[in-house]
């Protein structure tokens, strides 16, 4: 089916979203925070790569690098990055529940249950890593 073309008349008013559009609703702000979180996570990952590289440069270089990370600025950065990583992970796991339809026979598993399973798995993996870390430390 086709519609009779209706030329955009000059009478139309075309609204333009202001630069502050993302402050209009709480969900927009949360969304922007999630986008922003990737910046911190990216910096953290680059840092991790540098750290691994330093490891290959010998114990002294590595120790010096680690020493530099002990500065208040870097610690503050890591706290913020951790907060963002947690925020990103939580929203991500909630999202997968929406995205991934899990069916058991005829019935769809409620998304909340899928999210809960995700979080449980995440917790278990974290604990295992922590265990090895403490064992090794």
Residues in contact with other proteins by CB under 8 A are 1-4, 6, 8-9, 11-15, 17, 21-22, 24-25, 27-28, 31, 35, 95, 98-101, 106, 108
Contact (Cβ atoms closer than 8 angstroms) between residue 84 and residue 40: yes
Residue 107 dihedral angles phi and psi, to the nearest 5°: -105, 145
**Which CB, 116 or 127, lies closer to other proteins?**
116
Cβ contacts of 41 within 8 Å, gap of 6 or more: 81, 84, 85, 88
**Which CB, 23 or 124, lies closer to other proteins?**
23
For residue 99, the minimal CB distance to other proteins (Å) is 4
**Which CB, 24 or 68, lies closer to other proteins?**
24
Three-state DSSP state, 101: coil
């Amino acid at each position: 089916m086709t519609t009779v073309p209706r030329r955009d008349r000059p009478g139309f008013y075309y609204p333009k979203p202001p630069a502050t559009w993302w402050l209009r609703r709480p969900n927009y702000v949360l969304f922007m925070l999630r986008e922003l979180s990737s910046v911190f996570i990216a910096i953290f990952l680059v840092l991790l790569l540098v750290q691994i590289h330093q490891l290959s440069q010998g114990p002294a270089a590595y120790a010096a690098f680690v020493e530099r990370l002990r500065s208040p600025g870097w610690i503050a950065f890591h706290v913020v990055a951790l907060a963002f990583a947690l925020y990103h992970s939580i929203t991500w796991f909630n999202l997968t529940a929406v995205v991934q339809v899990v069916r058991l026979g005829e019935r769809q598993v409620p998304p909340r249950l899928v999210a809960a399973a995700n979080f449980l798995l995440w917790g278990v993996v974290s604990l295992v890593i922590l265990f090895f870390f403490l064992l090794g430390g």
